[in-house]
């Protein structure tokens, strides 16, 4: 399975030194080249040279399809988020990994599945790359920075697969 993480997810994974979880959870990862504008390219060097992360610009036709969804739905995406969804659509990448509801909705409207960071960590845990306990600690760190005081239980309330994973 090929995943397409959006820029916010990449920023969070780089910040928490957890970029390698993408490699452990998915066969390959594809991202728009524009990601270099928001993430220092040297933080991606190892992933690119390792062959599991590919940077590519989406074709204009796919960007136009995402533009059409935005125009019809009122969804507002950044140019980077738009390119991420367009590339996922073009490459048949599933899922788009995001923490943004508008990105999730735009992907859904285009028939592309979307998942959050909890799903990424669950998949990496199931592959044996990270223990369940370390995964929970990472989720706490990431979401405490994003949503202080919310509590991880609230975030995971719709993630029964985490409770059933070992």
Q: What is the CATH number of the domain that holds 132?
A: 3.40.50.1010
Q: Give the pLDDT of residue 43.
A: 86
**What tens digit of pLDDT does each residue of 73-89 get?**
999 999 999 999 999 99
Q: Give the pLDDT of residue 128.
A: 93
The larger pLDDT score, comparing residue 19 to residue 42, is at 19
**What tens digit of pLDDT does each residue of 115-146 get?**
999 999 999 999 999 999 999 899 888 887 66
Number of domains in the chain: 1
Q: Give the pLDDT of residue 32.
A: 94
Q: Give the pLDDT of residue 166.
A: 44
What is the distance between the alpha carbons of residues 123 and 101, in angstroms, rounded to a whole number?
A: 21
* 28-31 β-sheet, strand order: 53-55, 28-31, 2-5, 96-97, 114-115
Overall residue count recorded for the chain in this entry: 166
Q: Are 9 and 84 in contact (CB under 8 A)?
A: no
Range of the domain at 90: 1-166
């Amino acid at each position: 399975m090929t995943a397409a993480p959006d820029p916010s997810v990449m920023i969070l994974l780089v910040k928490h030194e957890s970029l390698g979880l993408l490699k452990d959870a998915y066969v390959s990862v594809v991202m728009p080249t524009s990601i270099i504008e928001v993430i220092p390219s040297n933080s991606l060097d190892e992933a690119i040279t390792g062959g599991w992360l590919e940077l590519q610009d989406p074709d204009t036709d796919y960007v136009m399809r995402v533009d059409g969804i935005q125009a019809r739905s009122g969804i507002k995406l950044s140019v980077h988020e738009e390119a991420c969804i367009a590339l996922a659509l073009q490459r048949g990448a599933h899922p788009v990994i995001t923490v943004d509801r508008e990105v999730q909705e735009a992907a859904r409207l285009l028939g592309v599945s979307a998942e959050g960071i909890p799903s990424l960590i669950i998949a990496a845990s199931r592959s044996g790359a990270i223990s369940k306990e370390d995964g929970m600690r990472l989720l706490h760190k990431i979401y405490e920075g994003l949503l202080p005081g919310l509590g991880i239980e609230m975030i995971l309330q719709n993630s029964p697969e985490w409770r059933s994973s070992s």
